[in-house]
Structure 1
Amino acid sequence: MWLFIAFLAVPLIEITLFIQIGGAIGLGWTLVTVVLTAIAGTWLVRNQGILAISQLKSSFSDLKDPTEPLVHGAMILFSGALLLTPGFFTDAIGFLLLVPAVRVFVFKAIRARVNVQTFQTGPQPRRSYPDDDIIDGEYSEVAQDRDRIKRPSKWTDH
């Protein structure tokens, strides 16, 4: 239901803002503003994305919980999609998601609603089987032609 409301409300808000801002500053400046916000947003998303990827790599190399850098990366990706969508409302939300303090707030709000049962890093515990001395494998017999062997090796001596 919330998704339906969002798909209905966002275009209505965008159309209203286009009419209001276009009437106040004119069509040309409105279009220039939309294009400039898309260019600036792309540049900011690229820089923030590089930073998020480096934080994710750092958390993997330090064997830390990668949840926060992953969520930050997802929010940066989402903000990039919003900034490339023409409109003032989506640009405002996209620019807000590029502010690290806003992302931390959103992450904490999401984390409060999601319950992670377990998280484990490092080597996995070894599973024990009832018969640890049994090795499962396949074999096939190879017939040896002793006349073809010119130099006997120590491996074929009986």
Structure 2
Amino acid sequence: MFGRLFLLFLVVPILDLALLIAVGGRIGFWPTFGIAVASALLGSWLARREGVAAWQRVQRKMTAGGVPGPELIDGLLILIAGTLLITPGFLTDLVGLLGLFPPTRAVLRRTLRRRFEAAVQQGAVRVVSGSFGSASFGGGAGAPPFGPHAAPPFGPHIGRGGPGIEDAEVIDDGAPPQGQ
């Protein structure tokens, strides 16, 4: 995995630089610079607009008693897309724009979900749910409250070298929200 990330962080900037140089050679420095600045400004505006909308969807889902899984993934994709858009380069701008448009973001979300599910099936990711120590995951009836004066939410062993959650996501446990 780190080999792929290294390759990504090496190859993408080189390709972006080559594209900037090629375009700059064709249309000149100032028009290329203007396009880069305009794409950063447009990308920032789009990322803010889409990010606010995603945050509102997260809040609505939580208010309705649901778990905002897809909405949180959308928020992460929008954050990554916005970062790519403010990075100078045509290749990063293209990928960033694809991450901001809802139809392409839905495709990315489904792809991430399939990859996560495959990682769980292969045992590369362990998903743990249920009760941890003295508090139940997510609270509920009889569970101590979370906060500075409450019992640790995942039991006293977390952070002290004991077992813990490595990586997890609740996709849909099929249970109705509590209180209904």
Once residues 89 and 39 of structure 2 are traced to their aligned partners in structure 1, the CA distance between those partners, rounded to angstroms, is 9
Q: Which residue of 2 aligns with 1:124?
A: 140
Deviations 1:111-131 (A, max 9, x none): 11213757799862547xxxx
2:92 aligned with 1:90: yes
2:109 aligned with 1:107: yes
Once residues 16 and 30 of structure 1 are traced to their aligned partners in structure 2, the CA distance between those partners, rounded to angstroms, is 13
- When residues 119 and 105 of structure 1 are mapped into structure 2, their CA distance, relative to the original with a 3 A threshold, is farther
Give the number of the structure with larger relative contact order, counting CA–CA contacts within 8 Å between residues 6 or more apart.
1
2:33 aligned with 1:35: no
Once residues 112 and 128 of structure 2 are traced to their aligned partners in structure 1, the CA distance between those partners, rounded to angstroms, is 17
Instruction: Say how many residue pairs are matched.
Output: 127
Deviations 1:94-138 (A, max 9, x none): 1110011111111111111213757799862547xxxxxxxxxxx
Deviations 1:68-99 (A, max 9, x none): 01010011111111111111111111111001
Q: 1:38, CA displacement in angstroms?
A: 0.5
TM-score, normalized by length of structure 1? 0.73
Once residues 40 and 119 of structure 1 are traced to their aligned partners in structure 2, the CA distance between those partners, rounded to angstroms, is 41
Provide the identity percentage.
Answer: 35
Q: Which residue of 1 aligns with 2:174?
A: none
Query: Which of these residues, 68, 71, 92, is aligned with residue 69 of structure 1?
Result: 71
Once residues 78 and 122 of structure 1 are traced to their aligned partners in structure 2, the CA distance between those partners, rounded to angstroms, is 28
Q: 1:7, CA displacement in angstroms?
A: 1.1
Q: Which residue of 1 aligns with 2:146?
A: none
In terms of Rg, which structure is larger? 1
Unaligned runs of at least 5 residues, structure 2 = 121-126, 131-136, 144-180
Once residues 108 and 66 of structure 2 are traced to their aligned partners in structure 1, the CA distance between those partners, rounded to angstroms, is 20
AA at the equivalent of 1:104: A
2:14 aligned with 1:18: no
AA at the equivalent of 1:66: P
Secondary structure of the residue aligned to 2:65 is coil
TM-score, normalized by length of structure 2? 0.65
Judge conservation of contact 1:63–1:122 (CA < 8 Å) in 2. no
Judge conservation of contact 1:21–1:30 (CA < 8 Å) in 2. yes
* CA RMSD, 1 decimal: 2.1
Once residues 102 and 39 of structure 1 are traced to their aligned partners in structure 2, the CA distance between those partners, rounded to angstroms, is 21
